[in-house]
Amino acid sequence: MSDRLVPFLDLRPVDAADLEATQNAIRRVLERGWLVLGPELEAFELEFAEASGVKHAVGVGNGTDAIFLLLKVLGIGRGDEVITTPLSAAFTALAIVMTGARPVFVDVDPERLTIDPAAVSAAIGPATAAILPVHLYGQPADMPSLVAIAERHHLALVEDCCQAHLATCGGQPVGTFGAGGAFSFYPTKNLGAAGDAGAVCSGDADLTERVRRLRHGGQAARFEHRLAGVNSRLDELQAAILRLRLPSLCDSTNRRRALAARYRSALEAASVAIPPERDPGHVYHLFPVRSTERDRLRAHLYAAGIETLIHYPTSLSKQKAFADHYPAACPITDTVCAEVLSLPLNPRLTEADVTTVAKAVRSFPPRLSA
């Protein structure tokens, strides 16, 4: 928790009633004494699938594992290449590396800031096995174009939905365009647990059943391991907390959209660029702006009592962790990484908070030209 006038985020209980409800959910699990793979998880999987507009959901340890397990059940592994975006958290590409495959980074659309379909097409080669778009900041990627590319080249399509709970593209829920979608419930997400948690969502019953086995060591029955699985289970405590918070996700999403609209209106005359909303299904996990003087702007806002974060300061194509994968140049992403700044946006923010932030951004004095 920050002591800023306008903190970026506050993960403490909203009030005494919220704290009591959370404690009751935890107590329910502890009193039952069933802590892993129990009724809370089963109920949450059904409830999250229904809320997300998908047929099946499987709770796993975190969003990274959700991506990994989807790729794994699709047969992606050593010798394969997966095309993805360099503008994301490193965990997107790390999930690819976990399978033994190679991430291939291609540049982003300069407005949407998600993977550019034209760049995807240009990067397809004989080893390409899958496309992994990220619905960045809550804005859905151009899924119709990516679906067409995947079908034309017979490629798997897996969606990183970790920042896009309840998002839609052209009215269709994310996670339903390809083989499946990976969700994260890290505490800062639009639907956050009290620790790490994730889910795989898909309309394919066979695929989700294989994920269900893989997450539990590949067990078909107790002590009977038919697959070389992993240990990645969403535990009962986190499932109970997520069940408590899920019913308010629709309202909190609408709140995010309303606050984002207020930001857009209040910042029309500011010296920052705001990525356009390319689809009304945007769920505003984050509210990024761009400035050629990003670091000065951030210092200016900090002096005004406003906390900001940078998502993300370095392109994945330039991260040392992926240096062995010979990434191609991604100049648009490099520019975005040098300019992007996330302003506070979460359901607890008030209209007065948005006014305070916007006023501070508008008062930012641009550097005088030489």
Residue 5, in any domain of the structure: no
Measured distance CA(97)–CA(100) in Å, rounded: 5
Q: Is residue 214 part of a domain?
A: yes
Residue 3 in any domain: the answer is: no
**Does residue 7 belong to any structural domain of this protein?**
no
Task: Tell me, yes or no, whether 9 lies in a domain.
Answer: no
Give the Cα separation of 117 and 133 in Å (integer): 10
- Measure CA of the first residue to CA of the last residue in the chain; give whole Å: 41
CA separation for the pair 183, 179 (Å, rounded): 14
Would residue 10 count as lying in a domain?
no
> Which domain does 220 fall in, by range?
16-105+113-247
Strand 156-160 and strand 180-184: the pairing is: parallel
Amino acid at 119: A
- Residue 117 and residue 187 in one domain: yes
Q: How far apart are the C-alpha atoms of 224 and 288, rounded to whole Å? A: 48
Question: Which of 194, 223, 247 is where one domain is finished?
Answer: 247
Are both 237 and 95 inside the same structural domain? yes
Claim to verify: residue 215 and residue 272 sit in the same structural domain: no
Q: Which residue has the tokens 């289970």?
A: 233
- Assess whether 230 and 219 both reside in one domain: yes
Tens place of pLDDT per residue across the chain (370 aa): 566 799 999 999 999 999 999 999 999 999 999 999 999 999 999 999 999 999 999 999 999 999 999 999 999 999 999 999 999 999 999 999 999 999 999 999 999 999 999 999 999 999 999 999 999 999 999 999 999 999 999 999 999 999 999 999 999 999 999 999 999 999 999 999 999 999 999 999 999 999 999 999 999 888 888 888 999 999 999 999 999 999 999 999 999 999 999 999 999 999 999 999 999 999 999 999 999 999 999 999 999 999 999 999 999 999 999 988 767 899 999 999 999 999 999 999 999 999 999 999 999 987 755 4
Of 247, 262, 277, the one marking the end of a domain is 247
In a shared domain, residues 191 and 43: yes
Same domain for 227 and 332, yes or no, is: no
CB contact burial 304-329 (16+ within 10 A = b; e otherwise): bebbbbbbbeebbbbbeebeebebee
176 in the same domain as 64: yes
Mention every residue, 6+ apart, whose C-beta is less than 8 A from residue 33: none
The verdict on 290 and 206 lying in the same domain is no
| CATH number of the domain enclosing 178 | 3.40.640.10
End residue of a domain, out of 247, 266, 299: 247
Q: What is the CATH number of the domain that holds 354?
A: 3.90.1150.10
- What was the pLDDT predicted at 370? 46
Q: Is 213 a domain residue? A: yes
DSSP structural state of residue 173: E
Cα 110-340-259 angle, rounded to 5 deg: 95
Total domains in the chain come to 2
Are residue 281 and residue 215 in the same domain, yes or no? no
- Give the distance, in angstroms, between the CA of residue 265 and the centroid of all CA atoms in the same chain: 26
Looking at the fold, whether 270 and 139 belong to one and the same domain comes out as: no
Residues 94 and 23 in one domain: yes
Decide if 206 is inside a domain: yes
Tell me: do 127 and 117 sit in the same domain: yes
How is residue 322 annotated by DSSP? G
Report the alpha-carbon distance of residue 140 to residue 275 in Å, rounded. Answer: 13
Please give the structure tokens belonging to residue 346.
């979460």
